[in-house]
Chain A
Amino acid sequence: MRKPTCKGACTRTGMNTRGSSLEASDAGYVFLEHTADVGLRAWGPTPAAAARSMYALTLGRDPAEASGTKATYTISVSGATWADLLVNWLAELLFQFSVEGLVGQTFDFSACAPPHCSATVTGIAIEDEEQVEGGEIKAVTYHHLEVDIQPDRKTVQVVFDI
C-alpha cells in the first residue's frame, strides 16, 4: 500500500504542548500529503496531539490561538480496538466542534485504552466562523489508519475527508 508522503511538502507542523498536564515535550504532529484529502501523523503519550492536529487542520492555525467562550466538557467513547477508539474519539470531537464550535485545548484523560476512552476537555467555544480558516472536515476515515501504541508514546496516522 502506498503511503501518503511528506516529500518536503509537509505543509505545517505543530509541536504545541501547552496546557496539558499529561503532555510530555515529545508530542506533536505533522500533516501528510494526500491527493484529495489531508492526513496527519501525531504522537505523544495520549491522543491529545491527534485532537490538536485535527483542530489545527480546520482552524488553519494552532487551536491554542482560537478565541471564544471558555468551555469544559467530557468526551467518552468506546472502541474494540485502538483503531476504532481513535476514529471514534476524533469523530466525537469533530461532532462537538461542528455542532457547538467546541475547540479542545487541554485534555485530562481518566481512561484511554480499548474498549474505552474518556477525557475532560477544556477549551473554548468559538462564536466567530471566520476563525475556521482551514476548511471543513467532513469525517474521520479508516483510510491508511495506523496506530502504534507504546507504553509512553502513541503514534497515529489518520486521513480526514475534507
Chain B
Amino acid sequence: MGKNAPQNWRSVLRQRDAVRWELPVDYMPGMRVPGMIFADESMIDSMAGDMAIQQVANMATLPGIVGHALAMPDIHWGYGFPIGGVAAMRVEDGVVSPGGVGFDINCGVRLLRTNLHEREVKGRLPEIVNQLFRDVPTGLGRGRGRKRRGTSINIEGALAEGAAWAVDSGHGSREDLAAIEAGGCLPGADPTQVSQRARQRGAPQLGSLGSGNHFLEVQAVETIADESAARAFGITEPGQVMLSIHTGSRGLGHQVCQEYLGTMQRAMEQYRITLPDKQLACAPIKSPEGQAYLGAMAAAANFAFANRQAITERTRRAFQHVLGRSGTATEIGVVYDVAHNIAKMERHRVNGKELELCVHRKGATRALSAGHPEVPAKYRSVGQPVLIPGDMGRYSYILVGEERAQRETFASTCHGAGRVLSRGAAKKKLAGVDLVQALASKGIVVRAQSKAGLAEEASDAYKDVREVVNVVEQSGIARVVARVRPLGVIKG
C-alpha cells in the first residue's frame, strides 16, 4: 500500500461540515481526485490508525476517476477498495477494477412486504422460521447431506436474463421484476466470459443464502418516519410483517472475481498501469480484459438477482405451507431489490457536464431520488427504496434516495452497519452465551447452521446501524422511511 495510516486522521482530513471530511488530493502522490468521507466526529476518531481511509486515497489513484473517491459512513477495511467505497471512472479513458466490486458480485438486499400483522404470526414464528430453514439452503447450500442437486443445472438463462429467467422457471411473477434494480437483469451480461469453473461452483448453489453475514429475516415494522414514502412502498402500519433477504451471487461470483483478479494483474503490466495496492488490479474499461470482466460481472450479477428471486419464491411457499393450513391468504410482494457490490454504466453530471461513467459501489447502495427514470414507476414520485440491514438483535432501516446523492455521491449511500469486533473476538466475547436463547428472550427466533457462525454475527459484533443512518440522513443523501425489527432469522 502507498503509506502507513496516520494515527489521527483529523490531522489530514479537512472537515467540510459535521459529516463531510475531505481527503486532500495532495495527501499522497498519484491521487487524481480528492477523497470525501461521510462520517461523524466519533467515527473519524474511531478510525485512528485504520487503513480504510488510506484505501480511499489508493482508490483516488485509479485512472479515469472523477469527482471524489467516496467513502460512506459504514466504511471499513476491504480488499483494494474499502467496504463502503464508491468510485466513478470515465468510460472513455477510465478503468474497471474487480476489487471495486468485491468477491461477492451483486451481494444485495431484497425487501418483501406481506399483508400479515405481527400478531397473526407471533404464535407461529418457530414453525415459520423452521420451515424457512428447511426450504432455503444455508451454509454452502449445495445440497450435500440433502438431496444432492448436482452440477447439471442449466444456468445459462440465469446468467443472461437474471430474475426474469427465475420467474419464467416458476419462481415468482412478472410483477416482481418491476421492483428490482435494473429490472433484475443488467445489460451487457456476457455468459461466455463466465468460466466453466465458476458455473460448476455456482450452479448447485442457486437458491441458497450462503453463510457469513448473509441472512433471511422475518421482520415487523417498528416505526414509520415518512408516511407518504412508506405508503408508496406498501408499508402501511407498525407491526406489518416484512422479510429481508441478504445474499449475492454465491460461488459463481466468488470464482469470477478470483479469476479476473489474475487477468487484471496481467493486464496492468500490458497497459503499464501502476497502482499502490495489488488488489486494485484493473484494466481500461474499453480494453478486451475490461470488457470481458464487465460482461462476466454483469452475468454474475444476473445470477444473484435470480438467486434472490428463487429464495423469494421459496419464502412464499414456506409461509403458505405454514399459514395456508389455517386458511390465511398470505400475500408477499417485492418492495425492492438492490445491489451493494457492483459496477454499473451510468450517466452523471460532473462539474456541470454529463458523463458516461462506470460507477463502482463496493458495500454501497444506489440511492436514486424522486423523478429519476430508473426508479420504478410506482415509486417515481418518492424515490428509490434503499435497504440498510442492521444486525439480528436490533433493527434495520428502509430509506429513500435524495437528490443531493445524485449531485455528490453518484447516487450512492451506505449499505449496512459494519463490524466492530472481529469474528474471533465476537466468539470469545460470547463464549458460553446461549445466543439462541438470548435472542428468544427478546422475542426473536433464530435458526443457524453453525453456532460459531451465529456468535460471529451477533449484535455485539456490529456497530449500531442507527449511527450510520444518522450520518446519511444528516448529509442529505437519503432519508429514513421506516425502521423494522427482527422477529425471526435464518443464517448459515
Please state if B78 and A99 are interface contacts (CB–CB under 8 Å): no
* Cross-chain contact of B450 among A60, A88, A126 (Cβ < 8 A): A60
Which listed residue, B4, B77, B200, B453, touches A35 by the CB 8 Å rule? B77
Of A126, A135, A140, A142, which contacts B453 at CB under 8 A? A135
Contact with A along B418-430 (1 / 0, CB 8 A): 0111111101100
Residues of B within 8 A of A134 (CB): 450, 452-453
Which residues of the other chain, A, contact B456 by a CB distance below 8 angstroms? 135
How many residues in A have their beta carbons less than 8 Å from beta carbons of B? 38
Interface residues of B in 176-190 (CB under 8 A from A): none
B445-460 contact mask (Cβ, 8 Å, vs A): 1 or 0: 0000110110010000
Other-chain residue from A1, A33, A126, A143 in contact with B144 (beta carbon distance below 8 A): A126
Q: How many Å from the CB of A37 to the closest CB on chain B? A: 8
The residue from A35, A36, A98, A141 contacting B251, defined by CB atoms under 8 A apart: A98
Among candidates B79, B211, B258, B428, residue contacting A11 with C-beta atoms closer than 8 Å: B428
Q: Tell yes or no: B146 within 8 A of A by CB.
A: yes
Closest to B137 in A: A129
In the assembled complex, the CB of A53 is this many whole angstroms from the nearest CB of chain B, namely 14
Contact A1:B51 (CB < 8 A) given known A9-B422, A95-B197: yes
How far is B301's CA from A4's CA once the two chains are assembled, in angstroms?
A: 31
Evaluate contact between A161 and B424: CB separation under 8 angstroms: no
Decide: A136 and B140 in contact? CB cutoff 8 A. Answer: yes
Give, as a whole number of angstroms, the nearest-CB distance from B232 to chain A. Answer: 34
A139 touches B452 (CB 8 A): no
Within 8 Å CB of A88, what residues of B? 262
Q: How far is the CA of A1 from the CA of B143 in the complex (A)?
A: 41
State whether the Cβ of B117 lies closer than 8 Å to any Cβ in chain A: no
In the complex, residue of chain A having the shortest beta-carbon distance to the beta carbon of B257: A139
List of A residues within 8 angstroms of B424 by Cβ? 9-11, 31, 33, 38
Tell whether A127 pairs with B76 under 8 Å between CB atoms, given A2-B51, A11-B424, A139-B103. Answer: no
Q: When the two chains form the complex, which single residue of A35, A91, A128, A142 contacts B145, counting CB atoms closer than 8 Å?
A: A128
Q: Return A45 CB to nearest CB of chain B, in Å.
A: 27
Quick one: which of A25-52 are within 8 Å of B by CB? 31, 33-38
Contacts of B83 in A (CB 8 A): 36
Considering the complex, give the chain A residue whose CB is closest to the CB of B202.
Answer: A98
- Minimum Cβ distance to chain A for residue B281 (Å): 9
Q: Is B254 in contact with chain A by the CB < 8 A criterion?
A: yes
Q: At the interface, yes or no: B15 with Cβ under 8 Å from chain A?
A: no
CA distance A19 to B420 in the complex (A): 39
B350 in the interface (beta carbon within 8 A): no
A135: B residues at CB distance < 8 A:
139, 211-212, 450, 452-453, 456, 492
A60: chain B residues at CB < 8 Å are 450, 452
User: Which of these, A36, A101, A129, contacts B78 with CB under 8 Å?
Assistant: A36
A162 touches B257 (CB 8 A): no
Per DSSP, chain B at the interface is loop
Pair A133/B450 contact, Cβ less than 8 Å: yes
Question: Given A10-B424, A11-B424, A99-B200, does the pair A129, B139 have CB atoms closer than 8 Å?
Answer: yes
Cβ B425 vs Cβ A33 within 8 A: yes
Give the residues in chain A near B139, CB-CB below 8 Å.
129, 132, 135-136
Contact A161 B79, CB 8 Å, known A1-B1, A35-B419, A129-B146: yes
Q: A11-B428, A135-B492 are in contact. Are A1 and B4 (CB under 8 A)?
A: yes
Name the one of B49, B279, B419 contacting A2, with C-beta atoms under 8 angstroms.
B49
Contact with B along A124-161 (1 / 0, CB 8 A): 00111110111110111111000000000000000001
Q: Is the CB of B258 within 8 A of A136?
A: no
Q: A92-135: which have CB < 8 Å to B?
A: 95, 98-99, 101, 126-130, 132-135
- Closest residue of chain A to B52, judged by CB? A35
> Contact at B140–A132, with CB atoms within 8 Å?
yes
Query: How far does the Cβ of A27 sit from chain B's closest Cβ, in whole Å?
Result: 22
Minimal Cβ-Cβ distance residue in A for B420: A35
Bound together, the chains give a CA A34 to CA B427 distance in angstroms of 13
Decide if B210 is an interface residue (CB 8 Å cutoff).
yes
Task: Determine which of B140, B211, B278, B422 lies in contact with A33 in the assembled complex, contact meaning CB atoms within 8 Å.
Answer: B422
List the B side residues contacting A91 at CB < 8 Å.
258
The interface of chain A, by Cβ under 8 A from chain B, is 1-2, 9-11, 31, 33-38, 60, 84, 88, 91, 95, 98-99, 101, 126-130, 132-136, 138-143, 161-162
A-B CB proximity, top 3 nearest: A11-B424, A129-B144, A128-B145
In addition to A11-B424, A130-B449, A143-B79, 6 A-B residue pairs with Cβ atoms within 8 Å of each other are A2-B4, A35-B421, A60-B452, A91-B258, A129-B143, A129-B144
